[in-house]
């Protein structure tokens, strides 16, 4: 099942934020799929289960939530920091307030709608084996603040709510975005019930690296760092890493895959350029993941995460066409 509604897309340009994420990559994937599978419909966002403040507070600190839902100035401060809109000299960076057409409340509402979509999609996967939300994947958000263009951590919020509902006990977060999935390991450092895996470029992230004691250096359960020029080893090391994870925590009740397309060679984000997989290698990655979980009967829920520039939609589309040919894009 595909979860998607254009109202959930965060169109950064409408807020005056200038980052090279193409605002319509998700709608492009959806309309291409709809052509092949005419039964696909937009998710009815009036009917989905909504994430609540209590769900957020299972993951994020009360202080952070009080600021995010506090005064307009507090919210703006959190957003400036998360999207890195002000530099060390106090000047705006990648942000032009003159182009801002929507206020920060709307940005927060849209982010929370995305979290609700991740939750509903994952709940669907739990019952039906597979789902893909064309959005989400806010894998840099920490317990105490948003970070790296990720305001809150949709994957952990989703899994903690499913645990609170008593429908799952254990889970994996498998993060194949080119940047290290650093939010979940920080949030989950004292929580043995959710294990994290991240395969990412060995160098280049976190940016402005600072001290190794910074929370973004907290390791995942299994980390696989791929160095420049090691693309030909990617698939074998992905497999070895997942087998390690399985040995530590076999048979999770569900996996959320943070399915970033930014290891792609035609990705346009400068900080994503240390791994350059071809389109075929990206397909190999996604097919491998799908079959790895399917053969073990682990329900799999995907979120889009990073994918920048004019071509990233191709990566999501080729995978979902493959899933469709394997008949998992069923009608409800
Ligand atoms: Zn990324």
pLDDT band at 332, cuts 50/70/90? very low
Ligand 1 geometric centre to CA of 305 (Å):
7
Ligand 1 geometric centre to CA of 127 (Å):
29
Ligand 1 geometric centre to CA of 315 (Å):
14
100 beta partners: 15
- Domains of the chain from N-terminus onward: 2-10+20-51+112-325 (3.40.800.20)
Ligand 1 geometric centre to CA of 178 (Å):
5
SS3 at position 87: coil
Ligand 1 geometric centre to CA of 231 (Å):
17
Ligand 1 geometric centre to CA of 39 (Å):
31
At 115 the pLDDT is 98
Ligand 1 geometric centre to CA of 181 (Å):
8
Ligand 1 geometric centre to CA of 23 (Å):
16
pLDDT band at 90, cuts 50/70/90? confident
Ligand 1 geometric centre to CA of 198 (Å):
11
Ligand 1 geometric centre to CA of 151 (Å):
14
- Residue-wise pLDDT for 278-327, tens only, equals 999 999 999 999 999 999 999 999 999 988 888 899 999 999 999 998 87
Q: What is the dihedral of CA 81, 85, 88, 89, to 10 degrees?
A: -140
pLDDT band at 82, cuts 50/70/90? very high
- Residue-wise pLDDT for 201-241, tens only, equals 988 766 655 666 688 889 999 999 999 899 999 999 999 99
Task: Say how far apart CA 278 and CA 235 lie, in whole Å.
Answer: 12
Please, what's the b/e burial string for 74-106 (b: 16 or more CB within 10 A of its CB; e: otherwise)? ebebbbeebbbbeeeeeeeeebeeeeeeeebee
Ligand 1 geometric centre to CA of 262 (Å):
6
Which phi and psi angles does 267 have, rounded to 5°?
-65, 145
Ligand 1 geometric centre to CA of 71 (Å):
30
Ligand 1 geometric centre to CA of 96 (Å):
23
At 18 the pLDDT is 85
- Residue-wise pLDDT for 155-198, tens only, equals 999 999 999 999 999 999 999 999 999 999 999 999 999 999 99
Ligand 1 geometric centre to CA of 224 (Å):
15
Ligand 1 geometric centre to CA of 47 (Å):
30
Comparing C-alpha atoms, which of 137, 159, 134 is closest to residue 149? 137
Residue with tokens 């889970």: 171
């Amino acid at each position: 099942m595909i979860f998607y509604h254009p109202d959930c897309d965060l169109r950064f340009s409408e807020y005056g934020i200038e980052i090279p994420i193409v605002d319509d990559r998700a709608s492009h994937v959806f309309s291409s799929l709809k052509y092949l599978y005419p039964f696909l419909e937009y998710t009815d966002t009036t009917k989905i289960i909504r994430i609540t403040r209590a769900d957020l507070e299972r993951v994020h600190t009360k202080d952070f939530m009080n600021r995010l839902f506090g005064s307009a100035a507090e919210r703006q401060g959190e957003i400036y920091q998360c999207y890195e809109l002000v530099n060390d000299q106090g000047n705006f960076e990648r942000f032009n307030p003159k182009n801002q057409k929507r206020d920060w409340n709307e940005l927060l509402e849209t982010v929370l709608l995305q979290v609700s979509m991740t939750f509903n999609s994952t709940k669907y996967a739990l019952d039906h084996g597979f789902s893909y939300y064309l959005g989400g994947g806010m894998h840099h958000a920490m317990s105490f603040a948003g970070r790296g263009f990720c305001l809150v951590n949709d994957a952990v919020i989703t899994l903690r709510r499913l645990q609170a509902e008593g429908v799952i006990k254990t889970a994996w977060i498998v993060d194949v975005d080119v940047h290290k999935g650093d939010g979940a390991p920080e949030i989950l450092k004292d929580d043995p019930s959710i294990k994290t895996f991240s395969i990412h470029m060995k160098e280049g992230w976190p940016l402005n690296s600072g001290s190794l004691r910074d929370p973004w250096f907290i390791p995942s359960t299994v980390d696989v760092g791929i160095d420049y020029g090691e693309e030909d080893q990617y698939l074998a090391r992905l497999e070895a890493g997942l087998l390690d994870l399985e040995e530590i925590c076999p048979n999770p009740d569900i996996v959320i895959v943070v399915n970033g397309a930014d290891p792609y060679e035609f990705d346009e984000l400068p900080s994503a350029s240390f791994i350059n997989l071809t389109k075929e290698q990206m397909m190999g990655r996604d097919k491998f993941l799908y079959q790895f979980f399917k053969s073990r009967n682990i329900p799999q829920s995907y979120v889009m995460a990073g994918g920048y520039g004019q071509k990233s939609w191709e990566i999501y589309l080729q995978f979902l066409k493959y899933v469709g040919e394997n008949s998992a894009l069923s009608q409800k």
